[in-house]
Amino acid sequence: MALDLFSHKGFSLEKQLMSWKEMVMEPISKTDDDAFTRVRIILMNGIELESIKFSHSCARMNKPLQRPLAMLRRIDQQQATTINWLLGADHSPLETTIAYEQVAIEVTAAVAQTEPDPYLAQVYRYGLLEDFDHMYRYSALMDRLEGKDSNNILQSYTDVIVGRPTMEEHRSPEDELRNPYDRKKAAPLTKMHALTIMAAEQQTWNYYMNIGPLFSDPLARQLYAEIAHIEEQHVTQYESIIDPEETWLEKLLMHKATEVYNYYGCMQQESNPRIKALWEKFLDFELGQFSTVANLFKETERRDPQEILPASLPEPIHFKSQREFVRQTLQNEINLRAKGPNFVSLEEESEASKIYRQRLHKDGIPSEIVALNYIHTPGGELNLRKNMPQKPSQNLSKGARL
């Protein structure tokens, strides 16, 4: 059943402030909770952080909005804390990285299939194959550096194979900018998809930039540097699909609607009752925040929010394994390249992107070095040894660590 945005008033803002104890809940179980519980946690943390980031920019440009935005951000920040703190400290930074890439793959693949605008669906499929490759590179790092299997985190929902090779993802800035949707014509779902995926990528950017220096291994440090640079590209790509002609308040309203939309989807599909109750509570919070912003929108713009949002929200994003769709996309589109706002064949790639890439790769390519001849195997690469008739050392492909 779809949620009606305008008939639920949710919690009033004053009732939304939480105590430290309410914010710092018992974390999920890394080993026993479903991987999609963790996926939802990472996604919603990203969505809250994007809401805060946008709100700060908005406040800097709109004096009359500063007071209400300051209050809304307090709640957002508490929500982000509550959600992000659900990840237990037994997740190593690399394990959390694997989970972040699972979010990027499974959520982007789900969005690509329900996106009504065919051009934007192509944008999502394009980004998807790049995040898919990051999973492969990080899995190789995790296996070969820490002796851990990324599937312990992925729980067999997500494949670990080569995507569009990370080394070929580096592009010149002009090849990262896409065409935006038209705010007057685009479906609300299109707008919420764009904000959702942009938020997820933005938080992945933040995360890699923060944890990259925590590694002592120089190869890990370079790999995080390389993939964080792609995340910068991805944030650029996804923010470029959002119509820059939207007003500040229109954007603010869309942020709040996107939060409601995603909390609703999380609540509907959550398997852990304790976390489901949290999503329900935050959905009520978000409806209260949406109502506040809808009033601000009416007062400031003298427009009805229903001009840009439907009363009834679209079908939520499906949180489930998108293996078949991802494999199909891999087969059909691995050789696509971006040139300006368009997607072209491998041969038509711009010279500017090729030159840009050469400059970055001149001293070696961490994403290639880390995964040289890596074959993901449940239980770790070492499990490949059991199929080898002789001593593994006599059968090694270059780079393999058996």
Partner 1 sequence: MKETSSLGLNKTGIKTSPLLSKQMVTGMEEFRKMPLDESITANEFRQAYISESGEAAKVPAPATAKGAISSGMQMLKGNDPRILIDKLGERIAFERTGVRLYDALITKCELLDTEETVSRLRTFREEEAHHFEIVRDVMEKLGGDSTAMTPCANTAGVASMGLLQVISDPRTTVAQCVQAILIAELADNDAWDLLIQLADEAGLAEQVKQFQIAKDNEDTHLEFMREWLKELTLRKDTEAEQGRH
Judged by CB under 8 A, does residue 177 bind partner 1?
no
| Spatial separation of the C-alpha atoms in residues 132 and 193, rounded to whole Å | 19
Among 157, 181, 238, 261, binds partner 1 (CB under 8 A): 157
> 19 vs 331, which CB is nearer to partner 1?
331
Instruction: Find all residues with CB under 8 Å of 396, minimum gap 6, and list them.
Output: 402
User: Which alpha helices (H) appear in 306-350, and where do they start and end?
Assistant: 323-333
Contact pattern for partner 1 over residues 127 through 146, marking x by CB under 8 A: -----------------x--
Instruction: State yes or no: residue 399 binds partner 1 (CB under 8 A).
Output: yes
Amino acid found at 297:
F
Q: Which of residues 37-96 bind partner 1 (CB under 8 A)?
A: 88-90
Site string for partner 1, 345-374 (x = CB under 8 A): ----------------x--xxx-xxxxxx-
Distance, C-alpha 53 to centroid of its chain: 15
Contact with partner 1 (CB under 8 A) among 68, 93, 165, 340: 165
Q: By C-beta, is 152 or 240 nearer to partner 1?
A: 152
Is residue 251 close enough to count as binding partner 1 by CB under 8 A? no
| One-letter amino acid of 7 | S
13/161 with CB nearer partner 1: 161
Structural tokens at position 246: 């939207």
Query: DSSP of 175-215, one letter per residue?
Result: GS--PPPPTTTS-HHHHHHHHHHHHHHHHHHHHHHHHGGG-
Q: Is 155 in the site for partner 1 (CB under 8 A)?
A: yes
Instruction: Evaluate whether 10 touches 264 at the Cβ level (below 8 Å).
Output: no
Least separation in angstroms between residue 11's CB and partner 1 is 29
Q: How far, in Å, CA of 100 to CA of 359, rounded?
A: 28
Spell out a b/e string for 281-311, using b for 16 or more CB atoms within 10 Å of the CB, else e: bbbbbbbbbbbbbbebbeeeeeeebeebbee
Question: Is there a contact between 239 and 297 (Cβ–Cβ < 8 Å)?
Answer: no
Contact segment (CB under 8 A) with partner 1 among 9-17, 182-190, 217-225, 302-310 equals 217-225
Residue choice 114, 122, 152, 240 for contact with partner 1 (CB under 8 A) = 152
Is the backbone of residue 320 left (phi > 0), alpha (psi -120 to 50) or beta? Answer: beta
Q: How far is the CB of 297 from partner 1 (least distance, A)?
A: 43
- Residue 219: how many CB atoms within 10 A of its CB? 15
Contact 67, 8 (CB under 8 A): no
Choose the binding region for partner 1 from 199-207, 295-303, 306-314, 322-330 (rule: CB under 8 A).
Answer: 322-330
Looking at 61-69, 122-130, 163-171, 387-395, which segment touches partner 1 (CB under 8 A)? 163-171
Tell me the closest approach of the beta carbon of residue 161 to partner 1, in angstroms: 4
Residues near 70 by Cβ (< 8 Å), separated by ≥ 6? 59
Chain-centre distance for alpha carbon 64: 32
**Of 7-15, 31-39, 228-236, 242-250, which segment contacts partner 1 by CB under 8 A?**
31-39
The token pair at 56 is 């700060």
Which residue lies nearer to partner 1 by CB, 144 or 337? Answer: 144
Residue 218 lies near partner 1 (rule: CB under 8 A): yes
- Give the count of residues interacting with partner 1 (CB under 8 A): 47
User: What is the token pair recorded at 279?
Assistant: 């999503």
Q: Which is nearer to partner 1, 68 or 88 (CB)?
A: 88
Residues forming contacts to partner 1 in the complex (CB under 8 A) are 26-27, 31-35, 88-90, 144, 151-153, 155-157, 159, 161-162, 165, 167-168, 216-219, 321, 323, 327, 330, 361, 364-366, 368-373, 375, 378-379, 398-399, 401
